Amino acid sequence: MRRGRVLAHRLALLGALAAVSACGKSPEARAKQAATTLRSWQATARLADEEHARGALPGEFASQAARAAEQGRAKAEQQLRQASSP
């Protein structure tokens, strides 16, 4: 029983360490991540448009995908602004 508790404490400590190390992410790294996400959403919107244009996606779903891409893009842009102006 006691040994289990010690192990649990150690594991919790390990998790906490991992969490702390993640908090210290540099602004540059954040900006880079946001930029990647932004490009991903732009590419998503382009692909969904093309697919819709050639008839591979029904109009209803194409607009759902476009909305998701728009929301994702807006969020990534905001993150990019936050990262570049601390």
Q: Which residues bind another protein (CB under 8 A)?
A: 11, 14-16, 18-19, 21-23, 25, 33, 36-37, 39-41, 43-44, 47-48, 51, 54-58, 60-61, 63-65, 68-69, 72
Measured on CA atoms in the order 33, 38, 43, 44, is the torsion positive or negative?
positive
**Shortest spacing between CB 18 and another protein, in angstroms:** 5
**CA–CA dist 60, 81 (Å, integer):** 32
**Shortest spacing between CB 85 and another protein, in angstroms:** 21
**Shortest spacing between CB 43 and another protein, in angstroms:** 5
- Which tokens hold the place of 32? 């880079």
4, amino acid identity: G
Nearer to another protein, 61 or 81 (CB): 61
Given a contact cutoff of 8 angstroms between Cβ atoms, the answer to whether 30 and 78 are in contact is no
